[in-house]
Amino acid sequence: MKPQRIVLWITAFFLVGIFVGLSFRESISGSKGSSMDQFFQYLQDEYVDTLDIAKLQQQAMDYILSGLDPHSVLIPVEDEQQIAERMQGSFSGVGVEFTIYEDTLVFVYIMEGGPAESYGLKAGDRIYAIDGDTIVGAGLTNEFVTQKIKGPVNTYVTFDIIRDGLSLVAAVQRDFIPLNSVSGAQMYGSMGYVKVDRFAESTTEELQEALAKLGDQGMRGLILDLRDNPGGYLHEAVEIADLFLGGNKTIVSTKYKDGRTIVAESKRGDKYEDLPLHIILNDQSASASEVLSGALQDHDRATIYGTTSFGKGLVQEDKQLPDGSTMRLTVAYYYTPSGRSIQKPYAGADLPGEMEGLVFQSDSGKILSSVGGIEPDIELSNDTVGSYYWGFSFGTIDDFAFQWVDARRQKIGTWEYEDFFNMKVVDDELISEFLKYGGYGLYVEDLPMDQLTELRLMMKAAIAKNIWGFDAYVSMLLNEDPVLKQVIKLSSGTLQ
């Protein structure tokens, strides 16, 4: 019997055990247990080949959860730490961004104020050993390097370095490294802008810091970018909504199977309650992003731009299992203040019938969509702007940009990021060199203007990334973002 067929049989028995509740009382060991226990006991004791029973059990549980709804999932032990770090907002490391170039680990960006900077590490350093273990070779991966660099706070990691032909050794003490969830804070005229990438434990605090800085620069309105934000902690979305709402306003209702309803409400006293607010969404804005947007839209507190959001209005809770894995189980629905569900329809859901025929309105009487997701007040799309052809070649662009930067580190060490926006770094000669490097068989004059414009932007962003890190890359692309440009124009026109 093939392993795939074993999983199908496991699933069938598991479903029978859960949903029908059959009691299979005969046991080869003489003891009584569930059908599932005895099923796996038979497999372990009598199946002709050796089986990994724990793995088969995990596959069966994963299969069942995946059939319940789009978001219930089993999280393996090995994925727990990475997920936890992203949501906690920090990890223990040394504060470097790196690349693997020609089988060699190279540091491309050293975080300001981080352990690596304080111990003298520099962008361009080649690392040939970590903690005495040689790491140069064809099998070197990002995952392996990350595992070697991370470790408990206050412990040391030792790097053997080649810099300008010299061999150096640096022992760096690990510390907490922030994983920021708020980025891109800047001013566009009198309009402030900030992007929230996810809702982690530190998101509200990060956003308040960004708003304070923008306020010092004369912010009279705010653009809150929630595009590609998959969600995160509900309480963080609630706290952020509270920043912009007056007191005693419903933010979100959570309704459970047993009839319980938990309502989160705003409090008075936040200084941003009257700040003109504009939110950008796309089809990957989900969950907590939609809770925040829905609350502010229902109370006529923000204008929503972009495209209809993802439509995830299901609440998950983490249930720890004995082997250390986590069952992330859907236990409730989210509802916006007007009573509409964010969740888009899916097979087996009770929700579509519940919402059928209902009409939802904002505080001012504006009719609101209730088909799943948050529908924008003003629809804006990337579809007609730019070709995005070269986005699929970014790996090659990034490799080329790394080599270009690496050959000029002494010169570019004097560059300031703020001046880089206006510098003409990417000319036709550089584009021609790249086209030869990538083996595209093209000349500059062969490229349509939209592709040439896009390639110049992607190349400049990749150069910024290899000098100032990933945030610089994002900021460079953002500066030419067609949707953001439209939102800036439309929102600035609303300021008095």
Paired residues of 96 in beta bridges: 110
Buried b / exposed e over 255-291, threshold 16 CB at 10 Å, is: beeeeeeeebbbeeebebbebbbbbbbbeebbbbbbb
Q: Any catalytic annotation for residue 312?
A: yes
Task: Let me know if 37 is a catalytic residue.
Answer: no
Residue 184 backbone zone (phi > 0: left; psi -120 to 50: alpha; other: beta): left
Q: Which residues contact 23 (CB under 8 A, 6 or more apart)?
A: 35
* 287 counts as catalytic: yes
Distance between alpha carbon 139 and the CA centroid of its chain, in Å? Answer: 27
Q: Kindly name the residue from 35, 287, 309, 325 that is annotated as catalytic.
A: 287
Residues 127, 131, 137: CA angle, nearest 5 degrees: 45
Q: Which of 249, 312, 344, 465 is catalytic?
A: 312
Exactly one of 62, 197, 225, 298 is catalytic; which is it?
A: 298
HSE of 298, CA atoms in CB hemisphere, 13 A = 24
The residue among 163, 211, 164, 218 whose CA lies nearest residue 188 is 218
- Which pair of structure tokens corresponds to residue 9? 């049989």
Please give the Cα distance from 126 to 105 (Å, whole number).
6
Structure tokens at 208: 């308040």
Query: Quick one: tokens of 116?
Result: 């690596």
DSSP 173: E
In 3D space, the residue among 425, 433, 481 whose CA is nearest the CA of residue 456 turns out to be 425
Q: Which residues of 309-340 are buried (b: 16+ CB within 10 A; e: fewer)?
A: bbbbbbbbeeeeeeeebbbbbbebbbbbbbeb
The angle subtended at Cα 398 by Cα 392 and Cα 403, nearest 5°, is: 150
User: Residue 337 corresponds to which tokens in the numbers above?
Assistant: 């203040």
Residue 474 CB contacts under 8 Å (≥ 6 apart), including other chains:
183, 184, 195
Place of tokens 């080599």: 403
Residues annotated catalytic, as ranges = 287, 298, 312
